């Protein structure tokens, strides 16, 4: 950290003397600096920049940026025959390891309520940020928002490029943190797809043929049916490869902090080896939270045949812990009457039962947790 501070101060002195540090004339959205396609701006910094977004981060439905401190603004306009745009932000000599965060925003005016977030990058470390956007309509205006994560100050370079064809690699796709969905044909129709809400988590499951052309799956979260166009990319799933035709089952559990009664929607994106994408329809669930109990997954102990789990009881209530076999037939039950508000550990002896798949069902007044575990 001391070395980082010295480098940061040294960079400031050099930038001041040779005149490459830009005056913060684009500290406000209304003063956004124009950047043209193919241009690279060096010697930028966000030292002394102020907060100008009118909306608090919590009210933004889809964005990987959660804190606004010292932002700078740039703008560009899409042109004919170029369909894919990339913004690169390269921080140097930051005063903290957190680095920068950035967004591409579709808007004609600096009115936060009209902003449409098209791309976002927030690595939370000092590294190159790459934002990708597909847009075939010419003459649309976009803002580039660059901000220090948690108030970090950095020097940086900014570059805007565009191509007629999608030149992104699979590695580039894995860097994406959000995506604005534009209608893509053909749609992705997996063998089966469903979304369920259990254990205060949303679980997305789907099946697909183990085709050799599948390079990557993405899982997108969209917050409700009003915001289906923009999705947070919450997971990248590597495909299962087999010799010949087969079917693989995939799943991902989203354990974000859900709000009771709110609707959350998910879609799966399939990316082939050439980078082409196809999207499923969005499936939505309503969060039905168990607020008075939490149960951890059940794990083996150092003692052969003994397994353990922890529960967090948030009110005085009756609790039942039930062990089920793979067909959900009850094997044993532990009842705790009027259990006080406390944390506790429970050890389960599975020695009387053979290897296989089992379930722990923990019941309280509000509902139940169901944890799958394997006895070897």
Please give the tally of structural domains in the chain: 3
pLDDT in tens, 60-87: 556 788 777 788 999 999 999 999 999 9
Distances (CA, A) of 294 to 13, 255, 318: 53, 13, 14
pLDDT at 50: 80
Do residues 130 and 218 share a domain? Answer: no
User: What strand order describes the sheet that includes 155-163?
Assistant: 40-45, 155-163, 84-92, 129-134
Share in percent of the chain as helix, strand, coil (round to 5): 10, 45, 45
Do residues 101 and 116 share a domain? Answer: yes
Residue 176 lies in a domain: no
pLDDT in tens, 184-240: 667 788 878 999 998 888 999 999 887 668 899 999 998 666 666 788 899 999 988
Residue 99 lies in a domain: yes
Cα–Cα nearest to 250, from 230, 236, 231, 265:
236
Tell me the CATH number at 119.
2.60.120.380
Do residues 259 and 278 share a domain? Answer: yes
Binned at pLDDT 50, 70 and 90, residue 160 comes out as: very high
Q: Is the pLDDT reported for residue 275 higher than 80?
A: yes
CB 165 within 8 A of CB 42: no
Tell me the CATH number at 313.
2.60.40.2360
Q: Which of 244, 261, 286 is the last residue in one of the domains?
A: 286
What is the model's pTM? 0.73
Residue 186 lies in a domain: no
User: 28 is written with which tokens?
Assistant: 């406000």
DSSP state of 59: G
Q: Which of 286, 314, 340 is the last residue in one of the domains?
A: 286
Cα–Cα nearest to 76, from 164, 163, 160:
160
Do residues 70 and 126 share a domain? Answer: yes
pLDDT at 330: 94
Do residues 16 and 151 share a domain? Answer: yes
CA dist 104 and 109 (Å) reads 14
Do residues 161 and 96 share a domain? Answer: yes
CA dist 114 and 122 (Å) reads 22
Residue 177 lies in a domain: no
Do residues 282 and 297 share a domain? Answer: no
Do residues 233 and 346 share a domain? Answer: no
Residue 179 lies in a domain: no
Do residues 278 and 308 share a domain? Answer: no
Collapse the DSSP code of 95 into the 3-class scheme (helix H, G, I; strand E, B; otherwise coil) and give the result.
coil
Q: Which of 150, 167, 184 is the last residue in one of the domains?
A: 167
State which residues form the domain around 352: 293-375
Do residues 234 and 196 share a domain? Answer: yes
Do residues 303 and 370 share a domain? Answer: yes
In the chain, what's the furthest Cα-to-Cα distance? Answer: 78
């Amino acid at each position: 950290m001391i070395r980082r501070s010295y480098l940061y101060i040294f960079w400031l002195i050099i930038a001041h003397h040779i005149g490459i540090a830009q005056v913060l004339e684009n500290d406000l959205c209304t003063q956004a600096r124009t950047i043209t396609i193919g241009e690279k701006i060096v010697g930028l910094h966000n030292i002394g920049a102020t907060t100008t977004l009118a909306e608090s981060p919590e009210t933004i439905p889809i964005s990987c940026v959660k804190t606004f401190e010292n932002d700078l603004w740039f703008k560009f306009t899409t042109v004919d025959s170029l369909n894919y745009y990339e913004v690169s932000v390269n921080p140097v000599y930051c005063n903290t390891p957190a680095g920068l965060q950035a967004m591409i925003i579709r808007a004609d005016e600096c009115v936060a309520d009209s902003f449409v977030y098209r791309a976002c990058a927030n690595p939370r470390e000092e590294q190159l940020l790459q934002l990708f956007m597909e847009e075939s309509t010419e003459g649309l205006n976009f803002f580039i928002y660059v901000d220090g994560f948690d108030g970090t100050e950095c020097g940086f370079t900014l570059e805007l490029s565009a191509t007629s064809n999608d030149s992104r690699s699979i590695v580039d796709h894995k860097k994406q943190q959000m995506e604005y969905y534009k209608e893509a044909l053909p749609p992705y129709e997996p063998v089966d797809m469903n979304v369920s809400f259990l254990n205060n988590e949303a679980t997305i499951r789907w099946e697909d043929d183990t085709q050799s052309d599948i390079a990557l799956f993405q899982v997108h979260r969209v917050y409700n049916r009003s915001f289906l166009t923009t999705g947070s990319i919450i997971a990248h799933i590597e495909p299962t490869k087999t010799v010949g035709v087969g079917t693989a089952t995939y799943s991902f559990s989203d354990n974000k902090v859900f709000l009771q009664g709110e609707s959350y929607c998910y879609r799966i994106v399939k990316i082939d080896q050439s980078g082409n994408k196809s999207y499923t329809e969005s499936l939505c669930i309503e969060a039905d939270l168990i607020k008075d109990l939490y149960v951890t997954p059940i794990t083996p102990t150092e003692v052969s045949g003994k397994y353990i789990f922890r529960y967090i009881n948030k009110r005085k209530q009756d609790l039942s812990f039930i062990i089920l076999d793979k067909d959900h037939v009850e094997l044993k039950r532990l009842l705790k009457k009027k259990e006080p508000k406390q944390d506790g550990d429970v050890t389960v002896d599975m020695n009387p039962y053979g290897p296989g798949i089992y379930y722990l069902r923990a019941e309280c007044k509000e509902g139940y947790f169901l944890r799958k575990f394997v006895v070897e």
